[in-house]
Structure 1
Amino acid sequence: MHIVAFPDGEEIPESLTAYCGELILRGTAEALTKPCGMPCTLCLWRAPLPPPPSELPAGA
């Protein structure tokens, strides 16, 4: 499992680049709504962390 920043909008781009640098072409992978499977260690290391609790919007 790779981690990618999925762009806003409904159109899926021709390719996405995972945080590890892996190029993923449209139609060769599936988008998951939650983590599933063995994660790519480099993607985990490079993925941005969520904001600290003090910076979360009210009601989050």
Structure 2
Amino acid sequence: MKIKCPTCKKWTEWKDNPFRPFCSERCKLIDLGAWASDEYKIEGRPEDEAGPMPSEKEN
């Protein structure tokens, strides 16, 4: 099965690809860098603004 690399859009083989879903280590590291530099964001409030976890609430 062939898939498109999410970073460079190059078609790559899925089976036996150690970097999947990326085509190469380079594309994998580019994606990691984008997350680390806040280029990608997940919708919602930041965790520290969400309040304590249920197990952390005082009774």
By percentage of residues, which structure has more helix? 2
Which structure has the larger Rg over C-alpha atoms? 2
Does the TM-score normalized on the shorter chain lie above 0.5? no
Q: Kindly indicate whether structure 1 or structure 2 has the higher relative contact order, using CA contacts under 8 Å at least 6 residues apart.
A: 1
Q: TM-score, normalised by structure 2?
A: 0.33
Q: TM-score, normalised by structure 1?
A: 0.32
